[in-house]
Homo-oligomer: A and B are copies of this chain.
C-alpha cells in the first residue's frame, strides 16, 4: 500500500468515526469524504460499500470487547464477569449510534465484511455465559445469540434520547432475569440468604 493511499485510508477512518458519532450509521458518505479531504472515488476505492466502512470502524471495538471477555473470564466470578461485559458492550455499541442493526444483520451473512467481528464477539459473550451457566449462576435456556439480541435491544434503547436515562436500570432487570437473581426489594441486599440453593 502506497504511502499516500495509507494516509487517505487513515483519514477516512478518522472522519468516519467523527461523522458517524454525530449523524449515526446513516451518515452522509459525501460528508465523510469531505471531512477526510478526499475525493468520493478514493473513498469508494478503499471502502466499496457503506458496510465496509462501518466494518473497519467497528472491528477495533469488537475485537476489544472479545479480548475484554477473556480478561474478565480470568479475573472475575462468572456472574460478575458476565454483568460487567454486558454493560461495557452495550456502552461500546452505543458509541456507534445506529450500527447495531447492521451488526446483527451481519451475524448470519457470511459474505458481510462485519461477519467475522460479529461472530467473534458473540463467541466471547457465549463463553462468559457458558461459564456462568456451568457455575449454576445463569439460566440454561438462553444462548450466545440471545445474549447478543439483548445487547442489541439495550443498545437500541440507549440510542433513543427519551429512554436513554432508563437503559441502565432496564439492563439491570434483564441481567437479573439472566442470572436468576431476585433483587426486587431495593432495600434488601443479596447477602441475605433468602433463596434455597440446594442441588
Contact = CB atoms under 8 A, between A and B. Distances in A.
Interface of A: 101, 104-105, 107-108, 139-142, 145-146, 149-150, 152-154, 156-157, 159-163, 166, 169-170, 173-174, 176-178, 180, 184, 186
Contact of A152 (B101, B105, B157): B157
8 contacts: A105-B162, A141-B184, A142-B173, A146-B166, A152-B160, A152-B163, A153-B154, A174-B174
A63 B95 CA distance: 35
A142 B166 CA distance: 10
Contacts of A105: 160-162
A146 B170 contact: yes
A105 B164 CA distance: 11
B180 A177 contact: no
- Tell me what chain A mostly uses at the interface: helix, strand, loop, or mixed: helix
A163 B150 CA distance: 10
A141 B94 CA distance: 25
Nearest to A104: B160
Contacts of A150: 170
What 10 pairs between A and B have smallest CB-CB spacing?
A153-B153, A177-B177, A108-B162, A149-B163, A156-B156, A104-B160, A139-B184, A153-B157, A173-B177, A104-B162
Given A108-B162, A141-B184, A170 B157 contact: no
Contacts of A174: 173-174, 177
Residue with the greatest number of chain B CB neighbours at <10 A, chosen from A140, A146, A177: A177
A162 B105 CA distance: 6
Given A153-B154, A154-B153, A101 B160 contact: yes
Contacts of A177: 173-174, 176-177
